[in-house]
Amino acid sequence: MLSLRLARHGAKKRPYYYIVIADGRSPRDGKFIEKIGSYNPMLPRESKERVKIDAERAKYWLKNGAQPTERVARFLADADLAPKVKMRETPKKSAPRAKAQERMKMEAEAAKAAAEAAAAPAEAPAAE
């Protein structure tokens, strides 16, 4: 099974990815068949250099059955090379537990009350 996926390169805390065609059984940064693009997450989202894809080769591999990963599928959809994909939702397991949610709610209420208290005295002298 062929896959279109990202292969990580670059230094520590300075990632740079190649968009490659690889056998699904090979490791992430291991052997690949062809390099068809690159992705530099360090650049701003608006930059044209952030994601570069060879459209002709991407179409060829998609036609021959290569399956893109979610991230690469999003890049392909942005380049109008594939239909938009529905991203999976964040699992409920990763949500904070009940006590943490309660604590966050109380902190938000306290911050709101502090903001209202700070705004109220500023309005009173102006009214006089």
For residues 26 and 47, the answer to whether their CB atoms sit within 8 Å is no
pLDDT digits over 12-67, tens only? Answer: 999 999 999 999 888 888 889 999 999 999 999 999 999 999 999 999 999 999 99
Give the CATH fold of the 2-78 domain: S16 Ribosomal Protein; Chain: A; (3.30.1320)
Query: Quick check: 51 and 78 in contact, CB under 8 A?
Result: yes
Interval 58-109: pLDDT, tens = 999 999 999 999 999 999 999 988 888 777 777 888 888 899 999 999 999 9
Tell me how crowded residue 77 is: count the other CB atoms within 10 A of its CB.
Answer: 14
Domain ranges of the chain: 2-78, 92-127
Rounded to two decimals, the pTM is 0.66
Short-list 58, 57, 37, CA closest to 48:
37
Check if the beta carbon of residue 74 is closer than 8 Å to that of residue 87. Answer: yes
